Amino acid sequence: MGYFIGIDGGGTGCRVAVADPSGKQLGRAEGGAANIATDLARAQANILETTARAFDAAGVHRSRMGSSSAVLGLAGANLQDARMRLLANLPFARQRVVSDGETTLVGAIGPEDGVIGALGTGSVYASQTGGVFRQLGGWGFQLGDDGSGARLGRDMLHRAILAHDSIVPHSPLTREIMAEYQGSPRALVDAARGFSPKDFGQFAPRIVAAADANDANAEAIMAQHTALVRKSLNAAGFAPTRAFCMLGGLGPIFLARLPERYRSAARTPRGTALDGAVAMAVLAFA
């Protein structure tokens, strides 16, 4: 019997499920980051190690990985070079690498027409119309990922330096951040040079909490990205009559800041991106 593997990988972690031909999940495992645009070699190693542990959890020998079929929904998969390089080094009998936006959408709304926004360390917006998938965003931390934790963190560190230089007024959060780097923009810049998206994203909970406490600089960052989230959802084809989900750690936070027409249209997702990857593997290869 061939097994079916669903893989969900992003900037924070990798999740793998092993299923039988009916789609019943037999075992799961979680591992390290798997954004193939950020660090392909590390992502590949984490994917393979986590998949092996998912087979262990399913009570299936790891050697069966080579006769199994997999769908991998990965951050960075919309970048052709990274996707093709990964495909050349995967051990599965049959395999498909897609954007994590596609597996997230399938997991959340199934076959229905609709729109999702998925906002975690990175971000992606996606729609499905008549079975046709379309993605916006997901272009990576440097030039994309609006509304993501990584972009919130990066933008707040930038704002802390602007406040230090008296370009914008300081607030409690920017003063706190600068104090953590000895009040030195040079120290902050030197540290940030080595930051991954995950490192920037670790500032996001503080930014959200500070905005809720009326910190002016945190609120400015949140307001800026809320506007970008709204415009991205509209560009993806949001309509109150279509299925609509906001996902990821920051999805519900931004949803609460959107106008009522978005809040009232939002529904609880059917499942996760990992569920979507498993469903796609069974549909494609069973």
What is the per-residue pLDDT across 52-65, written as a single tens digit (0 to 9) for each? 999 999 999 999 99
pLDDT at 1 over 70: no
The CA distance from 69 to 95, in Å, is 6
The CA distance from 31 to 62, in Å, is 16
- Tell me the average pLDDT across 259-286: 95
pLDDT at 46 over 70: yes
Closest-CA residue to 27 (of 71, 61, 67) = 61
pLDDT in tens, 7-43: 999 888 999 999 999 999 999 999 999 988 888 999 9
pLDDT tier for residue 163 given thresholds of 50, 70 and 90: very high
- Tell me the average pLDDT across 255-261: 98
pLDDT at 182 over 80: yes
pTM summary value: 0.84
pLDDT more than 90, % of the chain = 86
The CA distance from 237 to 215, in Å, is 33
What value does the mean pLDDT of the chain take?
94
| Predicted local distance difference test score (pLDDT) of residue 37 | 84
User: What domains are there in the chain, each with its CATH number?
Assistant: 4-110+270-285 (3.30.420.40), 149-265 (3.30.420.40)
pLDDT in tens, 125-158: 999 999 899 999 878 788 888 999 999 999 999 9
